[in-house]
Amino acid sequence: MTPDPLVARLRAAGCVFAEAEARLLREAATGAELEALVRRRVDGEPLETILGWAEFAGLRVAVAPGVFVPRVRSELLVDLASDGLAPGDIVVELCCGVGAIAAALAHRVPGIELWASDIDLDAVAVARRNLPPERVLEGDLFDALPPELRGRIDVLVANAPYVPTDEIAYMPSEARDYEHLVALDGGPDGHAIQARIAVECSEWLAPSARVIIETSRRQAGRTASLLSDQGLRTRIHRDDERDGTAVVGRAT
């Protein structure tokens, strides 16, 4: 069989799943347009931003250059948040990025009252393509939310930035060079944004509400402590298959 020259180019550029990527790129374009897409991929741009979508929790969600591309590991947050969720429950995704987690929850549990916010204007613009646009708000964490949500949120979910500042330089190029720093930088120890969410969430949560925060295996203990220090009962969840870690805090 004659080797596929596109697969060979992608493999030489370090693309592990070169055959699958070649198929997706060919489905997206032909001729000179395809060549332009291939050059972007060979230069290191994430496949998802080239295609304009990412697969997440069984959905295709819109993405765009510069925004945080949803990772498979974050599907753990969807599983945890959807467990026990019912129509009419109020769900908020902070640091929503393109709103992938919120979109997946809306798909799994129709009828929830969903809100999402992010400080990155580019991410907000894309999230408004994945969610009802009037429910995606621009602002800094809780500052973006309508005040009438205070004391009423049933599930608060956040994939807040948790990479320590000094470790960003060691991230894969696809993240370090192509995603906005605000979506990656978690401060000196990686917990700066998580700590703010923990401190500020109390006044927003309904009785017995849950807070679900993505973290890393190494950082999970500290993430749990931030929530337990605010009176939440915490549990660390680990998904080895998807390499996902999250902490769930429950209000009493």
Taking the C-alpha atoms of residue 47 and residue 34, their distance in angstroms, rounded to an integer, is 13
Q: Provide Rg for the chain, Cα atoms.
A: 19
Taking the C-alpha atoms of residue 136 and residue 145, their distance in angstroms, rounded to an integer, is 9
Counting as low any pLDDT under 70, the low residues of the chain are 1
Task: Collect all residues with Cβ–Cβ distance below 8 Å to 193 and sequence separation of at least 6.
Answer: 95, 141, 160, 161, 162, 186, 187
Burial class (CB in 10 A: 0-12, 13-18, 19+), 176: middle
Beta-strand ranges (E) seen in 16-159 are: 53-56, 59-62, 90-94, 113-118, 136-138, 153-158
Taking the C-alpha atoms of residue 95 and residue 196, their distance in angstroms, rounded to an integer, is 12
Taking the C-alpha atoms of residue 222 and residue 111, their distance in angstroms, rounded to an integer, is 34
CA dist 73 → 56, 166, 244 (Å): 10, 22, 4
Predicted TM-score (pTM) of this structure: 0.94
Beta-strand ranges (E) seen in 152-191 are: 153-158
The per-residue pLDDT for 1 is 65
Domain chopping of the chain, boundaries: 5-62, 72-250
> What's the DSSP call for residue 126?
H
Tell me the CATH number of domain 72-250, given options 3.20.130.10, 3.40.50.150, 3.20.20.140, 3.40.190.10.
Answer: 3.40.50.150
Percent helix, strand, coil in the chain, to 5, is 45, 25, 35
Residue 214 structure tokens:
């993505």
